[in-house]
Structure 1
Amino acid sequence: MNYLIFGGSGFIGTHLIHMINEIKNQNDKIYCLDLVMPGEEGVVPGIVEKNEGVNYIRLDVRQKIYFDFIPTKNDIIFNLAAVHRTPGHESYEYFETNISGAENITDFAEKNRINKILFTSSIAPYGASEALKSETTLPTPNTPYGISKLVAEKIHMIWQAKDPNRELTIVRPGVVFGKGEHGNMTRLYNAIKGHYYFYAGRKDTIKACIYVKELVEFIKYRMIDNCFTGSDIFNCTFEPACSIEHICNSMMKSTGLYSKIPCVNGRLLIFVARILSPFLRKKGIHPDRVKKLMVSTNICGKKLKDSGYKFHYSLDESYKNWFEDCEKKGLF
């Protein structure tokens, strides 16, 4: 069988490939299909490395997809390809990649009679609000990224609805962290360590998150270990989602940090970030990021918790495991 991983050179894709490489059968093939290859610009050098036994193929999901492989009846597509960082892209870029990519990947699946797709969406389709959001909550996206991800979900659902034997799992992860992430959680760790992190106006902001190893284990459970015909959506987050104060305390406890974190007026922090961002961009200082810290991502993970899947890590355990992985590589 073939494991076809679109966007496989990225953070989640690298962990997924590593996991599949450890469990695949001798005749199985792994294809990493991405616009960039490991070690190139856009991929963190020294963290994302090429795995033995993986076929790396450069392609652009915005274009019709063609490459040489022999399809089998058990093939699985993992669609991780996306433009996702906010801020960082023009509005049209989210639509161009995320929507066209969904169309071209589902067309590719149809032409090659592939009946299993895992699509990594986002919690962004829910929109920004303090209310608790479950998989049945009406999506009200308010950013180009969130809108593009919701449309991409619908494109995948249309593909599945054409044949009741097809399997589609859509995951909506909270903040995903782990070795190689270099995003929100890494910035948080570095800010606490450097004593320049402040609670933005409040300590009770809810921030849904999940460890990358947990996410790929759930993907394995849904797509490799079991068969679930039909279409289903899962919020992927620890349940219940934690406050930023809980997250900071857990991170400090698990990694040996200590910092007394003050709570500072949010408007003042935005003002200061606007002034300092041109000089401290490498440290992740940006007014839009401060604004995001002030709004909860209050995502319910109860459906995942009750799905039959057994979690491998608690929040404390995941931070400890992440820190140990990075410490071995000298990344922290």
Structure 2
Amino acid sequence: MKILVIGSTGFIGQFLVKKLVEKKHEVIGLDINPGSENLSMLCTCFVGDMLSSEDILKAAQGVDLIITLAAKHHDFGVTREEFFKVNETGTQILLDCATKLGVKNLIFYSTVAVYGTQKDPSTESMPPEPDNNYGESKLAAEKVIQKWTDEDKSRCVIIIRPTVIFGPNNYANVYNLIDKIYKKKFIFVGKGDNIKSVAYVENLVDANIFLIDKLKPGVQIFNYSDEPQMTIAQIVEVIGTHLPYGAPKIKLPLFLAVSLGSIFDLLTKITGRNLPITAARMKKFATATHHTSKKIREQGFIQNIKTTEGFRRMIDWYLANEVNK
């Protein structure tokens, strides 16, 4: 199958391109950033913007399937307008190009952020209730996709809603957690008994490959998280076992951490800087984010890499490449 991967030079994209090539697919990559020499050896790489019809049309010629990973995703410094411009408008531009080229197969990476903060573990049947700009913009993109699919009943779409993704070469939440624990700057907030669903990148990519064969007319939605689920205390303990100094044992009560975070909120407003401690981040750390992925497993998907092994691989990469930066 000839497959266009949008966001091919990003964290997930590089793992996905490699796996698709291993599975004998012909891969085309499109990203706003140039690909590495290694990536260029695996696929045909185009440098382009997902907001440019011209760039997409050039890259998508003759493809059978489009997988789009591109998104705007940060919790600081991104306006609501920017979120919707990239995540909703960008998706509409992509769909318009797919229509012109007659491409009817799409895999779209959304997010569990569309569920918002829920008391119960999320499932695909749960009504979305996003409570931030990122989640709202991704849900808006999903609605655009649903409309596109309704217009032609032969169109086949899979929406993947992954939870927090981690692995080597990723610099997001889990990286920050490892880095703070290693540098003895980590403050454990709350009791630690809250579930934090995570997804090791190679498991997520395997799930994506698995779902290619499940494409059928209409829209299918799949959560993705690793199993078994882990509490934040268990995650911190696992990380600590692979670091020289272990995991911190002292826990800061949530009310005290939020009070401390409020001080940093004020400093953020004054300085305009993205400070690592905020009241919202303190609350988020101690809040359960439990997202189940039973649906994909019921269809036969088997997770190949244990979550604990995923953490070990990321920490080995961190210790080899990042500690002296």
Q: TM-score, normalised by structure 2?
A: 0.87
Offset of residue 299 of structure 1: 1.2
1:298 and 2:287 matched: no
Instruction: State the one-letter code of the partner of 1:288.
Output: A
Q: Aligned partners of 1:173, 1:15: CA distance in 2, in Å?
A: 15
Moved more, 269-278 or 309-318: 269-278
| Partner in structure 1 of residue 125 of structure 2 | 136
| Partner in structure 1 of residue 5 of structure 2 | 5
Offset of residue 69 of structure 1: 5.1
Instruction: State the one-letter code of the partner of 1:249.
Output: E
User: Among residues 68, 73, 79, which one is paired with 1:79 in the alignment?
Assistant: 68
Is the alpha carbon distance of 1:49 and 1:199 closer, same or farther for their aligned partners in structure 2, counting shifts above 3 Å? farther
Is the alpha carbon distance of 1:78 and 1:69 closer, same or farther for their aligned partners in structure 2, counting shifts above 3 Å? closer
Offset of residue 183 of structure 1: 0.8
Is the alpha carbon distance of 1:51 and 1:59 closer, same or farther for their aligned partners in structure 2, counting shifts above 3 Å? closer
Instruction: State the one-letter code of the partner of 1:36.
Output: N
Q: Aligned partners of 2:54, 2:206: CA distance in 1, in Å?
A: 28
Is the alpha carbon distance of 1:285 and 1:22 closer, same or farther for their aligned partners in structure 2, counting shifts above 3 Å? farther
- SS at the partner of 2:174? helix
| Partner in structure 1 of residue 178 of structure 2 | 189
Identical residues among aligned pairs (%): 26
1:198 and 2:190 matched: no
Moved more, 132-141 or 286-295: 286-295
| Partner in structure 2 of residue 172 of structure 1 | 161
Moved more, 163-172 or 88-97: 163-172
Offset of residue 312 of structure 1: 0.5
Instruction: State the one-letter code of the partner of 1:248.
Output: V
| Partner in structure 1 of residue 17 of structure 2 | 17
Runs of 4+ in 1 over 6 A off after TM superposition: none
1:182-331 equivalences under 5 Å are 182-223=171-212, 225-253=213-241, 258-273=246-261, 275=263, 284-327=276-319, 330-331=321-322
- SS at the partner of 2:107? strand
- SS at the partner of 1:56? strand
Structure 2: runs of 5+ lacking an equivalent: none
Contact 2:227/2:307 (<8 A) preserved? no
Instruction: State the one-letter code of the partner of 2:31.
Output: D
1:33 and 2:4 matched: no
Q: Aligned partners of 1:195, 1:56: CA distance in 2, in Å?
A: 41
1:91 and 2:80 matched: yes
Q: Aligned partners of 1:69, 1:259: CA distance in 2, in Å?
A: 47
Q: TM-score, normalised by structure 1?
A: 0.85
Contact 1:31/1:54 (<8 A) preserved? yes
Q: How many residue pairs are counted as aligned between the two chains? A: 317
Offset of residue 95 of structure 1: 0.7
Offset of residue 65 of structure 1: 4.1
Offset of residue 88 of structure 1: 3.0
Tell me how large the CA RMSD over aligned residues is: 2.6
Contact 2:157/2:215 (<8 A) preserved? no
- SS at the partner of 1:272? helix
Q: Aligned partners of 1:254, 1:310: CA distance in 2, in Å?
A: 26
| Partner in structure 2 of residue 44 of structure 1 | none
Moved more, 269-278 or 9-18: 269-278
Offset of residue 130 of structure 1: 2.7
Structure 1: runs of 5+ lacking an equivalent: 40-47
Contact 1:82/1:98 (<8 A) preserved? yes
Contact 1:179/1:326 (<8 A) preserved? yes
Q: Aligned partners of 2:117, 2:189: CA distance in 1, in Å?
A: 16
- SS at the partner of 2:44? strand
Is the alpha carbon distance of 1:100 and 1:148 closer, same or farther for their aligned partners in structure 2, counting shifts above 3 Å? same
Q: Aligned partners of 1:317, 1:100: CA distance in 2, in Å?
A: 38
Instruction: State the one-letter code of the partner of 2:146.
Output: M
| Partner in structure 2 of residue 45 of structure 1 | none
Is the alpha carbon distance of 1:16 and 1:255 closer, same or farther for their aligned partners in structure 2, counting shifts above 3 Å? farther
Q: Aligned partners of 2:19, 2:322: CA distance in 1, in Å?
A: 21
